[in-house]
Structure formats: structure tokens, C-alpha cells
């Protein structure tokens, strides 16, 4: 399988505005922000989508969500933010490397479209 766009960002083959990195994950600003804060948190492990994750990924998934909350707080939006995971094309997924959207900084409607 060829590398996804996000694996290329992890490998520094294409640029991104990286805000956080550790052994397990990378976080960078979305190229097409939907709110004043729009960051993507991705695992370094190339899991295509959340439905492909397994029990072996339990700690990794917990890590991603905890870091997403930390990043929202570090960016000044700890009071209110939304975390989104799109799973599959009909749910709006366009990049098939698991990612959590952190969206904040404006009033968000529910339900999403
Ligand atoms: P999704 O539609 O849930 O798969 O989200 C994919 C997200 O990746 C979208 O919000 C895009 O704007 C974002 N995106 C696509 N290419 C890049 C890129 N090169 N750098 C940063 N974000 C990107």
C-alpha cells in the first residue's frame, strides 16, 4: 500500500504546521480550517480508519484522545472544543489515515451536517 498524505507528513516528505509530536502521534494544523482552531491528531501507526483499529490499539487510541484534550488546552481552547473522527467516505472521511479533528474557537452547531 502506498503511503498516505499523512504518513508523508510524519516522514517530513510534505510540509505541515506541526504543533505537537511524541513517539506515538503527531498533531498539525488542518490545511482547510473550519474554525479558528482546527488541528488533526494522528497516530504514527498507519491505521486507515477507526473501524480498522483492534484491541492492540487500545492504549494508542486513549493516548490520542488524551493528547487531543491537552493540545486544545495548550492552544487556549480548553473550555470548549469538539473532537471528531470521520469513519468512511459517507461519514466524510477523505484521508484514510486515522485522525482526530480538534475544532474550537467558534459556536458549533449540533447535529453536524
Ligand atoms: P477527513 O475529511 O475527516 O478525512 O479529514 C481530512 C482533513 O485533512 C481535512 O480537514 C483536510 O482539510 C485535511 N488535510 C488534507 N490535506 C492536508 C494537508 N496537507 N495538511 C493538513 N491538513 C490536510
pLDDT at position 76 is: 98
Give the number of domains in the chain: 1
In a domain, 111, yes or no: no
In a domain, 47, yes or no: yes
pLDDT at position 59 is: 98
Q: How far is CA 36 from CA 8, 14, 47, 60, in A?
A: 25, 23, 27, 27
Burial of 19 per CB tally in 10 Å (0-12, 13-18, 19+): middle
| pLDDT by residue, tens only, the chain of 113 residues | 578 999 999 999 999 999 999 999 999 999 999 999 999 999 999 999 999 999 999 999 999 999 999 999 999 999 999 999 999 999 999 999 999 999 999 999 999 88
In a domain, 93, yes or no: yes
pLDDT at position 2 is: 77
Ligand 1 pocket, residue 5 CB under 6 Å: yes
* CATH number of the domain where residue 73 is located: 3.30.428.10
pTM score: 0.97
Ligand 1 pocket, residue 94 CB under 6 Å: yes
In a domain, 50, yes or no: yes
Q: Which residue range(s) make up the domain with 86?
A: 5-104
pLDDT at position 1 is: 57
Cβ atoms < 10 Å from Cβ of 108: 14
pLDDT at position 11 is: 98
Ligand 1 centroid to residue 59 C-alpha, Å:
24
Amino acid at each position: 500500500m502506498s503511503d498516505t498524505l499523512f504518513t508523508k507528513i510524519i516522514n517530513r516528505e510534505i510540509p505541515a504546521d506541526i504543533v505537537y509530536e511524541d513517539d506515538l502521534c503527531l498533531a498539525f494544523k488542518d490545511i482547510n480550517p473550519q474554525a479558528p482552531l482546527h488541528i488533526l491528531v494522528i497516530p504514527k501507526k498507519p491505521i486507515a480508519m477507526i473501524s480498522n483499529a483492534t484491541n492492540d490499539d487500545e492504549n494508542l487510541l486513549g493516548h490520542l484522545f488524551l493528547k487531543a484534550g491537552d493540545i486544545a488546552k495548550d492552544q487556549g481552547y480548553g473550555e470548549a472544543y469538539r473532537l471528531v473522527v470521520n469513519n468512511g467516505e459517507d461519514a466524510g472521511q477523505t484521508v484514510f489515515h486515522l485522525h482526530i479533528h480538534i475544532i474550537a474557537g467558534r459556536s458549533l452547531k449540533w447535529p453536524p451536517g
